[in-house]
Structure 1
Amino acid sequence: MALRPVMVNIKALDPSAVGRFWAEALGWSAYSPGVTTYVGPAGGLVWPDPVVVGIDVVPVPEPKTTTKNRVHLDLATTSAAHQTELVARLQALGATPAHVGQGDVPWTVLADPEGNEFCVLEPRAIYRGTGPIAAVVVDCADPRAMARFWGEAMDWTLHEVADDHAVFRSAKGVGPYLEFLRTPDVKTVPDRVHLDLLPYPGDDKAVEVARLRALGATDLDLGQGDVSWTCLADPEGHEFCVLEPS
């Protein structure tokens, strides 16, 4: 038994607008069958996608605070020219420069139209072939502890673990990486970006949720009410949801 990350969940005041931004940013398409906007590769919504980790943008009534998100996306580029072009195109779409204490670095930090931070990376060999999203990055205090929890929670492969970072990727070697980076800041507000995990067909969601609790996850009440998914937090308080398998 194990779970797989299938979506990056982004909360937004205007999910349609934020979904359109991310679709244009990634070269994907936005699908809005209801109040949630799904963003994935063009050609029709595939659920779950066998390669990519998609984006679902969900409506909330509260705007983002000035606190930096503890989960963000890193976007891949193939050359210095591509990085420059992508940053310019994203700003034309409504992205704005963001300052999170990064100093003089080779990547560019931006925020989407509702203030969610993300990075446009300089070209790196490790991210060739990931698709437009190089990595989902999670700030944490203890990457080794996160590696232990998430390594048991998911079926992804642990590629690296050290005192300052831990790196996972799908066991099939496709799609983005999931990275835990040690940072000095602490969690103070609910995050507006989190992972959605999905059991495999035939697996029991309730059994998976019980297994996660035994690993150290805790129940989370975000006012979600009676829904088909289960909201949990990992041992450092990062929110995530376990979806009902289709």
Structure 2
Amino acid sequence: MELENLVLDAHDPRRLGAFWEALLGGRRVTDEPDVVETRLSPEGAPVLDLCMTRVPEPVAPHPRLHLDLLGGDRQDEVVRQALSLGARHLDIGQGDVPWVVLADPEGNPFCVMEHRAEYRPGSPVAALPLDSADVDRDLAFWTALSGWVAEDTAMPAALRHPSGHGPLLELCPEPRPKPPGTKNRLHLDVRLAAGEDLDDAVAQALDLGGHEYDPGWGPLPWRLLTDPSGNEVCLLPPPRA
């Protein structure tokens, strides 16, 4: 299994897709009215797809997963570019911090980060901070599902692709529990490798504290789960031969 997609709910996938594609330097691989997918394949870093899918629900406050963009010496430049593409400054009570908090054109928060030694140059996404009710428990879950490996950073726990390149998946102590019945605006998709069995992968996730759920969409080729802290994750079948 390996982390493959970052999936962002959208009211207008093409508008939101154009924003993120331009800001991150992605290449569009799917362009449909309800789904837009842009591929991030920076040299030396793992490929990740950012998928915008149409949903009717409004943007909820307090997202549990968001994008931290690589800034460093280019922080001001990245902020100016984001603003020119339709982002806006956002005050979420962050106070005086060295990073810049912005909202994309649909109001989803993201950050443009200052220099940190653990961020890898080359990838436009520096980190994926994810709220966790129990960091050690969730670290075991995401280590098994993502195919990424633990890395020592200033955060309580973090994972990165085994190549040593690309963004961090950071597990952050949650400031508040996830409200019942709500869905994260941004979630992760994990792709099984050739020869891996989807039922076995689901069973492993459940053994590690995950939960499977059925939103009533009918038969799907993938499986819908949450991690032990309630964060959504999709398990995708192995790629077709």
TM superposition score normalised by structure 1: 0.88
Q: Residue 35 of structure 2 contacts residue 54 of structure 2 at CA under 8 Å; is this kept in 1?
A: yes
Partner of 2:56: 61
Identify unmatched segments of 5+ residues in structure 2.
Answer: none
How many residue pairs match? The answer is 235
Which deviates further from its counterpart, 111-120 or 211-220?
211-220
Partner SS for 1:71: coil
1:30: Cα distance to partner? Answer: 2.6
Q: Residue 66 of structure 2 contacts residue 186 of structure 2 at CA under 8 Å; is this kept in 1?
A: yes
Partner of 2:215: 222
1:178 equivalenced with 2:179 (yes/no): no
1:22: Cα distance to partner? Answer: 0.4
Correspondence 1:90-129 to 2 at 5 A: 90-129=82-121
Q: Residue 131 of structure 2 contacts residue 172 of structure 2 at CA under 8 Å; is this kept in 1?
A: yes
Aligned-partner residue type, residue 181 of structure 1: C
Q: Residue 67 of structure 2 contacts residue 111 of structure 2 at CA under 8 Å; is this kept in 1?
A: yes
Structure 1 consecutive aligned stretches of length 4 or more whose deviation exceeds 4 Å: none
TM superposition score normalised by structure 2: 0.90
Partner of 1:241: 234
1:76: Cα distance to partner? Answer: 0.5
1:193: Cα distance to partner? Answer: 0.4
Partner of 2:158: 167
Measured against aligned partners, the alpha-carbon deviations of 1:216-239 in whole angstroms (never above 9, x if no partner) come to: 111123343221111101111011
* Partners of 2:45 and 2:101 in 1: CA distance: 29
Identify unmatched segments of 5+ residues in structure 1.
Answer: 44-48
What fraction of aligned residue pairs are identical, expressed as a percent?
37
Q: Residue 225 of structure 2 contacts residue 234 of structure 2 at CA under 8 Å; is this kept in 1?
A: yes
Which deviates further from its counterpart, 193-202 or 174-183?
174-183
Distance verdict in 2 for CA 1:32–1:148, change over 3 Å: closer
Aligned-partner residue type, residue 135 of structure 1: A
* Partners of 1:168 and 1:101 in 2: CA distance: 27
Q: Residue 14 of structure 2 contacts residue 31 of structure 2 at CA under 8 Å; is this kept in 1?
A: no
